[in-house]
Structure 1
Amino acid sequence: MTAPFSTHVPASAVVPPVRRPYAAAFRALIALAALTGVAIDLALGSPGRVLSYFTIQSNLLVAAVFAASAHRAWSRRRPPLPPVISGGTLLFITITGAVYHLLLADDAARFSMTDGGTSTTTGWHLLANHLLHTVTPIAAALDWLLLIRPGGLRPRHAALWLLYPLAYLIFALTRGALLSPGTPARYPYPFLDVAAHGYATTLTDAATLGLAFAALAFALVGLDRIRPTPRLRENRISSPGAGGLK
């Protein structure tokens, strides 16, 4: 006996996904800002040293994630990036901006990622600092608030995100231990300088920062539950479930 003919038609076949050119353009600009800042520092300093900074690594992640998001918003590709990726990217670049402005900004006049702190941060260095520590964190936060539906983040995501700062701490301390004393920027940040402070103080400072990062990660998950839903132009037949950008 022949099975009855199914009349079900996928929603995507009825109404095609909506292209979002403004979201795509905004995200492309964020990716470009991150890449520009990284390129400036790479052009002015030793690549091995520059790439060892959390700032550079988090901005490279921003460039990759926002370029992918821009492509999806423009080409109607589905599904959107998983919330664990977009949320983690936001957390890491927020850490970059917060640590710089709260702990390192007072040293910005003499500290540079490209020269190990031996010259004044002006001109191209200053532009890179603004792009990497101010522009990309603010832009990423605006993207999250204005262009991404709330409710996609979970506490398990926050726990997963915290593995990266821990891995970076291990990397920074191991790298510093392997480099010879006197190497410029042997330890990438003053609060990780074992040679100056010893392991006890350095690990205590790192633990304090780690607790702050954990609080920030779980606060991000909590805020995602209560922040207002942005007005997104989307397919009426598409799933209203929480998640990334449509």
Structure 2
Amino acid sequence: MPSAVPASAVMAPTWRPRAAAYRLLVAAAAAAAVTAEMLIGPPFRVLSHFAIQSNIAVALVLTFSARRAWATRRPVPAALTGAVVLYVTMSAVVYHLFLTETSPPFSITGAPGTHHLWQSVAGHLLHTAVPIAALLDWLLLTAPAHLHLRQAPAWLLYPLAYLAFSLTRGELLPSGAADRYLYPFLDVARHGYKHVLANALLLGLSFYALAILLVAVDHARPNPIRRRTKTGFRLRPPVG
């Protein structure tokens, strides 16, 4: 009879120093970009951005994942990795589609041009390099077929909580504050709640569609870390 015990329960994880080094490098890049933004702009404003929060999540999860890969321990739960990849990818997509040509120019720090080189490097890391690197880590350094459609609704809880936080923050700040609403498509003072909630609904549907796409890709991609097992003996042709 086939065993009901999965192979991962009886096969010890392998030592993966290259994966650990790559993840530490990506985590360091995300942490450096967040730190640079916080040194330039007000920390509370910087930390209130979705891109900053998603990059912090990437730094934490990849650091923890690198430690497990180096210590020959089992990988972090796939649902956690999938959620982080979803958030940082969606943040990059929103930035490149809606925030690169805004007027006034979109700025996490609220002071565009103050430290142009630092802000340019940090912006490219936050919105391009780190999301691509996180996607490559998921595609090339993790086992497939561990994500499921039932996880997608749970992944949407954080974007929903962020929407509530953003709108509440805007209501609590003075009406004349320049950073009352951090994203133009969530600016209630300019567009009103009806328009903002419609934008939020479209973003939520986009989040869910991207989550479904990640699950589909996860079940269609090959296994990049398949290992060859050794039994310790060789089969020989029968005699006679």
The TM-score normalised by the length of structure 2 is 0.87
Which residue of the other structure, out of 203, 214, 217, is the alignment partner of 1:220? 214
**In 2 relative to 1, CA 236–183 (structure 1 residues): closer, same or farther, beyond 3 Å?**
farther
Structure 2: 5+ residue stretches without partners: 1-6, 232-240
Say whether residues 1:65 and 2:42 are aligned partners.
no
What is residue 94 of structure 2 aligned with on the other side? 99
Distance 2:13 2:164 in 1: 44
Deviations 1:81-100, CA, capped at 9 Å, x for gaps: 01110000100000111011
> Cα–Cα, structure 1 residues 47 and 225, in superposed 2: closer, same or farther, change >3 Å?
same
SS at match of 1:107: coil
Residues 236 and 75 of structure 1: CA distance in aligned 2, closer, same or farther (over 3 Å): farther
- Residue identity (%): 51
Structure 2 CA distance for partners of 1:167 and 1:235, relative to 1, 3 Å:
farther
Answer whether contact 1:147 1:232 (CA < 8 A) is retained.
no
SS at structure 1 position matched to 2:101: helix
Q: What residue in structure 2 maps to residue 114 of structure 1? A: 109
Contact 1:110 / 1:119 at 8 angstroms: preserved in 2?
no
Aligned residue for 1:8? none
Shift of the 58–234 alpha-carbon distance from structure 1 to 2, 3 Å rule, reads: farther
Distance 1:236 1:174 in 2: 58
The verdict on how the C-alpha distance between 1:223 and 1:63 changes in structure 2, with shifts beyond 3 A counting, is same
Q: 1:19 to 1:176 in 2, by over 3 A?
A: same
- For 1:73-121, what per-residue CA distance to the aligned partner results, in whole angstroms no more than 9, with x for missing partners? 11112x2101110000100000111011111122398321112x55477
Distance in structure 1 (CA, Å) of the matches to 2:101 and 2:229: 48
Q: Is the 8 A contact 1:111 1:119 kept in 2?
A: no
Residue 30 (structure 1) aligned to one of 26, 32, 42: 26
Distance in 1 (alpha carbons) for counterparts of 2:128 and 2:143: 24
Residue in structure 1 matching 2:157, options 163, 166, 178: 163
C-alpha RMSD of matched pairs (Å) = 2.2
The question of 1:203 aligning with 2:204 is answered no
Question: Kindly tell me: are residues 109 and 194 of structure 1, through their superposed partners in 2, closer, same or farther at Cα, counting changes over 3 Å?
Answer: closer
Give the counterpart of 1:21 among 5, 8, 17. Answer: 17
Aligned to 1:146: 140
Give 1:243's aligned residue.
none
- Among 81, 96, 99, which residue is 1:86 paired with? 81
Structure 1: tracts of 5 or more residues without a match: 1-10, 238-246
- Aligned equivalents of 2:164, 2:11: Cα separation in 1: 50
Query: Is the 8 Å Cα contact of residues 142 and 225 (structure 2) preserved in structure 1?
Result: no
Letter in 1 for 2:169: R
Cα 1:15–1:155 change in 2 (3 A) is closer
Does the alignment pair 1:48 with 2:40? Answer: no
